[in-house]
Amino acid sequence: MMTHATHDIAFMKMHGLGNDFVVLDGRVRPVAMTAALAQAIGDRHRGVGFDQLALIEPGTGSADARLTFYNADGSTAGACGNATRCIARYLMDDTRNTQVVLTTERGHLVAQDAGHGLTTVNMGLPQITWHEVPLASQMDTLELPIDGGPTATGMGNPHCTFFVANAESVDLETRGATIEHHPLFPERTNVQFASVIGDNHLRMRVWERGVGVTLASGSSSCATAVAAARRGLTGRRVTIDLDGGRIDIDWRDDGVWMTGPTAHVFSGTFTPEWLEQIR
């Protein structure tokens, strides 16, 4: 049996534009997270279900907390923008501060209260060279040698963005699953299909690596905004309409800032009996 299951574990269910998360606060009581436990929690029939799981741990130095992310298949995710915003809001509400610093694989990320119930986070500078994304070999990331000429961007995790006439008409499940495992992406990739629908306004749909179709993705939104600006389709400040709602992205000199709503839906605990069943 799993040795971590010696007590019940508290969790929170949150979402950003329908991109949903299970959040575990391990700052006071450490949580021994494993791929098997993450998969079990992510089961929408026998667990709770999530697009990503986020584990909060004590911060070091100037950071208020450290975040580690897991996909529904148990693999880790280097970045998760919407979960970062949700947790930033939780921590700001808890401490009554208007700014927090969070550590992820990307380093220190600054999050702020944007007013009107919105939270903004600096997701860091985009990675636009082939080895940063990473890609399997040296090439121009602006237009990859894949049918449709997508753009590759790293945001602490890899992204492949297609610009199409109508994002609504794309067979997202088929195309997304195929591109996720394309040999150009040794770590697999998140996949986006985006259309320009107005001045600095995009419509985008998402296939997330290790998850599948999601209603929204913060890092995918950042990558799509960067790709659109690099291709001259938009400026560096854009609004993106996702299946789950609207998000604003601002690619500044110090990083890609993402602003949108968050929701803490409910809190609960996993029972010791359920935890003991996980091998």
Domains and CATH numbers, the chain: 9-123+262-276 (3.10.310.10), 151-253 (3.10.310.10)
Q: How confident is the model at residue 7 (pLDDT cuts 50, 70, 90)?
A: low
3-state secondary structure of 277: coil
The mean pLDDT of 49-67, rounded to a whole number, is 95
The mean pLDDT of 243-251, rounded to a whole number, is 97
User: What is the rounded average pLDDT for all residues in the chain?
Assistant: 94
Indicate whether 3 pLDDT > 70. no
Measured in whole angstroms, how far is the alpha carbon of residue 197 from the centre of its chain? 24
**Cα–Cα distances in Å, from 196 out to 40, 192, 231?**
39, 13, 12
Cβ atoms of 16 and 83 within 8 Å: the answer is yes
* 77 C-beta neighbours (distance < 10 Å), count: 24
Give the whole-number percent of the chain exceeding pLDDT 90.
92
Q: How confident is the model at residue 2 (pLDDT cuts 50, 70, 90)?
A: very low
Measured in whole angstroms, how far is the alpha carbon of residue 150 from the centre of its chain? 20
Cβ atoms of 217 and 81 within 8 Å: the answer is yes
Q: How confident is the model at residue 77 (pLDDT cuts 50, 70, 90)?
A: confident
List pLDDT tens digits, range 195-218: 999 999 999 999 999 999 999 999
Task: Point out which residues pair with 34 in neighbouring strands.
Answer: none
**How much is the pTM?**
0.92
